[in-house]
A = this chain, B = another copy of it.
Amino acid sequence: MGDPRWLTERELKTWQGFLMAGTLLTRKVEQQLRDDAGLSHPQYEVLARLSAADGELRMTELAGAALTSKSGLSYQVAQLEKAGLVGRRSCPSDDRGVIAYLTDEGQARLRAAAAGHAELVRTLFVDGLNPEQFTALADGVDALCGHLCTGEPCVEAG
């Protein structure tokens, strides 16, 4: 190994700020979804991804799109199934596969939660930054995702 490439003060500050912003944001989002709709953030994500995929998705696709491991997804889908928001059926083209689908109740719950969630994300994440700042953040995040997803099984391929 060569000399360690230490972070400059500014790089460190940005890194810590990035982590802190993520922590604060997810904490508030979590709290609001819980209070407002009785959902955790991972659960909301599952419902939202299913909805975006016309109501159904295979478990693996759902896990890949989301922020959890396979076992974590099994757990969350089981919780959502208990709550009647999601159902499971086997995949016709692959007997190993399981398709999770949004129930009517799940759609209703998602609809009920979505406006408040969007409002909060806007308040926390978009407002308070002027357009140039938001653009700056968006560009940086884009570049970061591109960098991180290189050679990674990333969210989507299209």
Contacts and interface: CB of A to CB of B under 8 A. Distances in A.
B134 A5 contact: no
B17 A26 contact: no
A100 B101 CA distance: 49
Interface stretch (A80-88, A102-110, A138-146): A138-146
A143 B122 contact: no
Q: How many copies does the complex hold?
A: 2
A118 interface: yes
Contacts of A53: none
Interface of A is mostly: helix
Interface residues of A, number: 56
A78 interface: no
13 contacts: A4-B114, A11-B125, A11-B134, A15-B125, A17-B142, A17-B145, A21-B141, A23-B67, A128-B147, A134-B140, A137-B137, A138-B140, A140-B141
